[in-house]
Amino acid sequence: MDYPTHLLDEVKKNSKYFQLEGFLSGNGSPQAKAMLVGEAPGQTELVTKLPFTGQAGKELDNELEQAGLSREDLYITSVVRSRPYKIKKRINKDGTVSESRPNRTPTKAEVLAHAPLIDYEIQHIKPKIIAPMGNIALKRLLGNKYTISAFHGQVLNDSIFQLSDDRSTYVKSTDRYIIFPLYHPAAVLYNRSLADVISKDWRALFELINKLSDSHSFLVACRNDLIIVPTLNTNRMMLKTSNHQPMKLPKISPSII
């Protein structure tokens, strides 16, 4: 993705006092049906120039393969486009001091400084599905009350937070989006017991992409819930809500996306 120069300049100016280095563009098909949104590139990604090519990337590729997805089906980006690092000093046995600069989680101020880029990507790629991976991306898009542990694997239909015109805060978009929160691919490295849940969510994303690509289905937005309706036999069908519970077609008048 090529970003407009004025946005790159703005992000650079607003990031100059942060411990951030390098720059990595979002990557993938401009026609992608789903956009995966991570946190920020790490050391490996700055070398390879491709998102998710380090340890988290191996987990991601593994999940994609098992779910039947490929990077070519997707656009992959993150809420911060430079590598956040911390400075760690260590005194060696011989008394000399060595310094390392490991990756760290981006701060809210860094996410705000990089907000014009993810907003631009969403507006230009216009993905059918946005899948924030992990809490940093989820909270950036839907707000602080959302957590991955509560919302992973649910199909949400909502407006998202975008940078305000005066650049000081976020405001809700007028457009609504289909949001499918996922655990960050690195989560399983810290908590192996999440492995099954994470794989199930990736399979659900695969199914959602297929259903949305199927011309025999359409989506009905009902409050903050989404229902995928096959065009045949809809009036007699039991439908599945985002939390996978069967329900009858609601009587309220739905808006069709």
Judged by the rule CB under 6 A, the positions of this chain that interact with ligand URA are 38-42, 45, 51-52, 54, 56, 78
Closest distance to ligand URA from the beta carbon of 101 (Å): 16
Residue 79 CA to residue 132 CA, distance in Å, equals 9
Least distance (Å) between residue 53 CB and ligand URA: 7
CB 134 within 8 A of CB 183: yes
Beta bridge partners of 158: 177
Question: Min. distance of Cβ 225 from ligand URA in angstroms?
Answer: 28
Q: Which residue lies nearer to ligand URA by CB, 152 or 212?
A: 152
Q: How far is the CB of 105 from ligand URA (least distance, A)?
A: 9
Q: Which of 144, 145, 136 is nearest to 40 (CA)?
A: 136
Is the CA virtual torsion 187, 188, 192, 197 positive or negative?
Answer: positive
Question: In angstroms, what is the minimal distance from the CB of 62 to ligand URA?
Answer: 14
> Minimum distance from CB of 212 to ligand URA (Å)?
24
Q: β-pairing, 246-247 with 239-240?
A: antiparallel
Of 188 and 219, which CB lies nearer to ligand URA in the complex structure? 188
Nearest residue to ligand URA, by Cβ distance, number only: 38
Torsion region of 112: left, alpha or beta (phi above 0 gives left; psi -120 to 50 gives alpha): alpha
- Residue 38 or 127 having the CB closest to ligand URA: 38
Q: Give 40 or 182: the residue with its C-beta nearer to ligand URA.
A: 40
**Sign of the Cα pseudo-torsion (37, 38, 44, 46, in order):** positive
Q: How far is the CB of 40 from ligand URA (least distance, A)?
A: 6
- The residue among 71 and 220 lying less far from ligand URA, judged by its C-beta, is 71
Closest CB to ligand URA among residues 47, 171: 47
Q: Which is nearer to ligand URA, 60 or 129 (CB)?
A: 60
Distance CA 250, CA 159 (A): 22
